[in-house]
Amino acid sequence: MTQLQDLNSQFLINPKITYLNFGSFGACPKPIFEDLQKWQLEMETEPVQFITVDGFKYLKKSREALAKYIHCDSDDLVYTPNPSYAMSIITKSLKLNAGDEILTTDLEYGAMDKSWNYYCKQTGVKYVRQPINLPLTTKEAFVEDFFKGLTKNTKAIFISQITSSTALILPVKEICDIAKQKGLLTIVDGAHVPGHIPLNLSELKADIYTGACHKWMMTPKGCAFLYVSKQHQHWTDPLVISWGYESAMPSHSQFLDYHQLQGTRDFTAFLTVPKAIEFMNTNHWEVQATNCRKLLQANAQRFCDLLGTKPLCPINDTFLGQMFSIPIHTTEPETLQRDLFEAYKIEIPVMRHGSNIYLQYNIQIFNTQKDLDTLYNALKEIIANTELIQIK
Ligand SMILES: Cc1ncc(COP(=O)(O)O)c(C=O)c1O
């Protein structure tokens, strides 16, 4: 196994920054970044061959590698630039009737809520944001809470596998199993999942799933995917109408034609997925992730105590991965985030979610106890010298 120090030096992150925000946009290690540059060079050397001939073969190989990694059929996957794009394919295509309901939680990512709000405005469908009791206690209690929002009009469920601002791993398998028994369409937002916690789509059996590769899988930005199970592919419309729509030379899959042929674009980021998977495999990523979770959990209570708040869930692996959100009392989250960066060189999100505010640290393999001590001391100083954080 590569020594941790050597592995850390593979990341391009500025070493002068205490980087505790891996989740927002990931970060690409050198071998994966070099792979991107290799593809881009090949494209610029012979653009016509690359875009119209070889690119399709490369894309197929890349989809096959991703499909193997997340356990699904490679024909049920298409690459998209991000999860918002993937979910917009669904919210632009789904045919429900006015009065039907989509059940979700009040913990979802804001841009996804917007996508569904847009959909509901067009269709008269209702987006039901079921309030979830925090702190979470058990998976069973979560499932019970969630299905309190079920009515006779519910036709679909939408849920994050890992939430964004609250950083909670939700029991989506349990939710999807029950939803399926009730005949509901199951749609899962797994933006933070690939490369973070194991993902097995053939076990999960969600109808629709989106994930980002440019977060925890560490590909370059602009690499995500949409999975749609075979029985639902026929109703998904392309978001961009191009040659793949009613193709003169259809392939074996309308789903691939519709969503892969999107006009001229740079799809080289998609081609780096096999290299990203190889990078994780050769560096025993599951062991690395376990170590990251240990560091995260060892510090969790200490930060809650400092900020005078309670964790959003028990501090163990049930609901926690490599991101930890701490409720914080501040009237100026944007100023606090800016101050932490400018005065202390700490990159960390301070996020609003409804009326709540969360400070969230993320642990990737290059993070150490020293990084968390730097954060702790900075917060202590801010509490002592300013009124930016209130301790209640
Ligand atoms: C839970 C969740 N869903 C979806 C997204 C959407 O990502 P993007 O803005 O790249 O489409 C994010 C981004 O952080 C997220 O955290």
Local structure of 285: helix, strand or coil: helix
Q: At 2, is the pLDDT very low, low, confident or very high (cuts 50, 70, 90)?
A: low
pLDDT for the residue numbered 5: 72
**Nearest ligand 1 atom, CA 224:** 10
| CA 352 to ligand 1 centroid distance, Å | 15
Q: How many CA atoms lie within 13 A of 303 on its CB side?
A: 27
Average the pLDDT over 121-128 and give the result: 98
Distance 176 CA to ligand 1 centre (A): 20
Q: Is 189's C-beta closer than 6 angstroms to any atom of ligand 1? A: yes
Question: Which atom of ligand 1 is found nearest the CA of 108?
Answer: 1
- Across the range 365-379, mean pLDDT stands at 98
User: Across residues 6-14, what is the average pLDDT?
Assistant: 92
Q: Tell me: the pLDDT tens digits for 133-185?
A: 999 999 999 999 999 999 999 999 999 999 999 999 999 999 999 999 999 99
- The per-residue pLDDT for 1 is 53
Assigned token pair, 359: 């400070």
Which phi and psi (to 5°) does residue 92 adopt? -90, -10
Q: What's the CA gap between 14 and 259, in Å, rounded?
A: 36
Question: CA–CA separation, 357 vs 349, rounded Å?
Answer: 10
| Confidence grade of residue 6 (pLDDT, cut at 50, 70, 90) | confident
Hey, what domains does the chain have and what are their CATH numbers? Answer: 4-20+284-385 (3.90.1150.10), 33-279 (3.40.640.10)
pLDDT tens track for 70-83: 999 999 999 999 99
Q: What is the mean pLDDT of the chain?
A: 97
Per the listing, tokens 């400070």 go with 359
The best mutation among 79, 82, 187 to test binding of ligand 1, ranked by most ligand atoms within 8 Å of the C-beta, falls on 82
Q: From the alpha carbon of 162, which atom of ligand 1 is closest?
A: 1
How far away, in angstroms, is 191 Cα from ligand 1 center?
5
Is the pTM value of this prediction over 0.95?
Answer: yes
Our answer on whether the CB atom of 172 is closer than 6 Å to any ligand 1 atom is: no
